Chain A
Amino acid sequence: MSSLVFLVPLALLLGAAGLGAFLWSLRSGQYDDLDGAAERILIDDDQE
């Protein structure tokens, strides 16, 4: 029982951090162009 006192809040905190990260990435437009992100990795930056 005593371990639960900090393990459960810790688990919830980590989960909430994940949720926060998801909402942040959503807001900053990281899901706007999923196809483009997959293809852009193939572009060499140093050509120009």
Chain B
Amino acid sequence: MSCCAPGVEAAAGMAAVASPEEIRLASRELGGGLRQTDLSVPAMHCAACIQTVERTLGRLPGVENARVNLSTRRASVKWRGEAAPPMIAALEKAGYQAHLFEAEEDKVDPELSRLIRALGVAGFCSMNIMLLSVSVWSGADAETRQAFHWISAALALPCLLYSGRVFFASAFAALKGGRTNMDVPISIGISLAFGLSLYDTLHHGEHAYFDAATTLVFFLLIGRTLDHVMREKARAAVRGLVRLSPRGAMVERPDGSRDYLPVAEIEPGMRVLLAAGERVPIDGTVAEGVSDLDCAIATGESDPRRVEQGATVRAGTLNLTGPLTVVASARAQESFLAEMVRLMEAAEGGRARYRRLADRAAQLYSPVVHATALLTFIGWMLATGDWHRAIGVAIAVLIITCPCALGLAVPIVQVIAARRLFENGIMVKDGSGIERLASVDAAAFDKTGTLTLGRPRLLGSDRYDPETLTLAAALAVHSRHPLSQALAAAGAGLALTSSRFTDIVEHPGLGIEARQGDTLYRLGRAGWALSGEGEPAEGTVLSRDGRLLSAFAFEDTVRPGGREAVRKLQDAGLAVEILSGDREPVVADVAARFGIDASAGELLPADKVGRLQELARQGRRVLMVGDGLNDAPALASAYVSMAPATAADIGRNAADFVFLHESLDAVPTAYAVAREAGRLVKQNFGLAISYNAIALPIAIAGFVTPLVAAIAMSLSSVIVVANALRLRAGKPAKAARGRQTGRAVGGGNPLVAAR
């Protein structure tokens, strides 16, 4: 799957690099001192990549074996020893971004192999039975026919028992819960067809429906397996994304010794050491150190926050510039992240009540069909008094109306829609998400990280004196602070001439300073960089010997395609609004730039959920698009939800759709595909019903032979599948495909890479 691309890199750029301790913590014990670690390496795409990755990993000390799986873009490494080999660093050096993959989630999918085995058995049985049936239809004599019917019966039995179990189990579960679904009429149809055919074979009857019953199982299993494969592929792609919450942290004991502990074992009062670039694992207060925190994922604030001794920090924020010592104030179960999980659990429900289209159709369909079959039986009984003939015709009615087309009508469209979305870099977790997305009438967006990228950009870089900008960029290259990186990126186009600095020092929370001969340059907070009075005390400035050279203004980078995406949704009649945790003025500014009328800022996670519930009470169906930890409850409570690949882990898990590309165009694309899929599903239902309208009178009249049933059923299935293939939305995916195959370049800014 070539979903490796831009979004994943952006995510990788933001995540902290796993330490050897974290790798060890995430590895799996294989016995005999052997450990296995799974790495996700999204940039692999050819034989040379396989070879490079396997050799790079294989050469590391302690590594026994490294094996790449190109389909899932993963490498599994078996290693020995106390400390984990520096796998991620080695791969980074070889040009591949890698991150840890959850080992415990990587079990072989039992459901898929069960479906494929059932499909294999059904295919074998139905094809052989069909072969025998063709001889019977073309006029085998009575003796041969009888023999063939017995062989068919012997082949149909394992097909029904083994492959049919998929439907029987689901139908039974539905009936036990007091509901019906599409599998109930399917199960009744195939078991009755088998029963009657067996009876007829025992009594040397002319007709047997073994072929119809087994082919039906085979066709329906194909649809079901494709559906499962598609969703599993999407889930695997989402699971392969970088994990943003840390697994553990370095804890300093009172005696000065250091231990790497899993997050769950960190107790309040423990001192946690955080290097620059690490995520805060638990809520706490800063005991030592000064730094800047990126809170975008946690609270939606776009500007980094300066923290020093005594400041409280929240789990999930990213430590940017300086090392910190944090005293834990709560256990992991009680920290911010856990609070979000609780809110999410409370918020879910609206979605659980949603009943899938196919099930609703089955609810209408099964009573009608079963009543028709019963009436046919009674009618034939009254007319002829021949109960065997009457049962035969009634069962023929059930077989001919057996919802082959209906059973395929929804899943086949969803498989094709999911595939189309996949090509556009959008992962669908569940088919019902497509159904729900098709019927939304409002959309709510988070701001930081969703409408914007949460990455600052220099405002109007041509307004500045190129020389000053070059100086600032040359200094900024040495810092990880987002504003520095924005400056460095802005200066990337200019020639970095003779800016040679010495004594470069970064002061966390303040800025960066360097010397050029006797001159002292400072880039950072105005209050720190400027010495004179009457100068601005706010904002980011570059100073020479304490005198202002230039002040810089930044804005949050708008997600590419954002404005067009919002306009497309508004044109489609959706009411769009912004729900953000950031400050009101910033939110209002972004809303104006996007042409969105309704916006709300400074919302707590629970406020977002409240707003969505209020909309739901008004009868609106809201699509929620968000990325942060603070959005996760809203994502779970919305009618349908989408998240970018850079979203927080729990947000990604709560969303129905995850889009991998940077462009926000994914939202209208997904909406268009879902709308068209909804239309095609309705057409398919129409086709299936009109097929029944034609076939049912023939069946009631008693003219249905096994040959007629086989032709009618295959024809209706083929028509339904062909109709589903007409899905056009999201088709010109050439651009997306080009980006997918493009070699991934390391995240961050080009200057850093060039150095």
Which residues of the other chain, A, contact B464 by a CB distance below 8 angstroms? none
How many angstroms between the C-alpha atoms of A15 and B72 in the bound complex? 32
In chain A, positions 1-48 with a C-beta closer than 8 Å to chain B are 1, 4, 8, 11-12, 15-16, 18-19, 22-23, 26-27, 32-36, 39-43, 48
Once the chains are docked, how many angstroms separate the CA of A22 from the CA of B124?
A: 11
Taking a contact as CB atoms under 8 Å apart, the answer to whether B46 and A39 are in contact is yes
CB-contacts of B123-138 with A (<8 A): 124, 127-128, 131-132
Residues of chain B contacted by A11 (CB below 8 angstroms): 128, 131
Chain A residues with Cβ below 8 Å from B147 are 4
Q: Does more than half of chain B's interface fall in helix, strand or loop, or is it mixed?
A: helix
For the complex formed, measure the closest distance between the CB of A31 and the CB atoms of chain B, giving whole angstroms: 8
Knowing A16-B124, A18-B124, A19-B120 are in contact, say whether A36-B50 is a contact too (CB < 8 A).
yes
- In chain B, what residue has the closest Cβ to A22? B120
Residue on B with the closest CB to A37? B70
Please tell me which one of the listed residues B47, B128, B151, B155 contacts residue A42 in the complex, with CB atoms under 8 A apart. B47
A39 nearest CB neighbor, chain B only? B47
Beta-carbon contact of A26 and B113 below 8 Å = yes
A27–chain B nearest beta-carbon distance, Å: 8
The residues of B that contact A19 with a CB separation of less than 8 Å are 120-121, 124
Contact A40 B47, beta carbon cutoff 8 Å: yes
- Are B144 and A39 touching (Cβ within 8 A)? no
Task: Point out the residue from A15, A27, A35 that lies within 8 Å of B70, measured CB to CB.
Answer: A35
**In the bound complex, do residue A43 and residue B47 qualify as a contact, i.e. CB atoms below 8 Å apart?**
yes
Q: Which residues of B contact A1 (CB under 8 A)?
A: 143-144
Say yes or no: B120 contacts A23, CB within 8 Å.
yes
Chain A residues within an 8 Å CB radius of B151: 8, 12
Contact B55–A48 (Cβ < 8 Å): yes
- Asked if A15 and B124 sit within 8 Å, CB to CB, the answer is yes
Chain A residue contacts of B144, Cβ below 8 A: 1, 4
Question: Could you tell me the distance in whole angstroms from the C-beta of B359 to the nearest C-beta in chain A?
Answer: 31
In whole angstroms, what is the CA distance A32 to B74 when docked?
12
B residues lining the A interface (CB < 8 Å): 46-47, 50-51, 55, 68-72, 113, 116-117, 120-121, 124, 127-128, 131-132, 143-144, 147, 151, 155
Residues of A within 8 A of B (CB): 1, 4, 8, 11-12, 15-16, 18-19, 22-23, 26-27, 32-36, 39-43, 48
28 example contacts (A-B, Cβ-Cβ < 8 A) are as follows A1-B144, A8-B132, A8-B151, A11-B131, A12-B128, A12-B151, A15-B124, A16-B124, A19-B120, A22-B120, A26-B113, A26-B117, A26-B120, A32-B71, A33-B69, A33-B71, A34-B71, A35-B70, A36-B50, A36-B71, A39-B46, A39-B50, A39-B70, A40-B50, A41-B47, A43-B50, A43-B51, A48-B55
- Assuming A15-B124, A39-B47, what are 9 further A-B pairs, CB within 8 angstroms? A8-B132, A12-B128, A12-B155, A16-B124, A26-B117, A34-B71, A36-B50, A36-B68, A43-B50
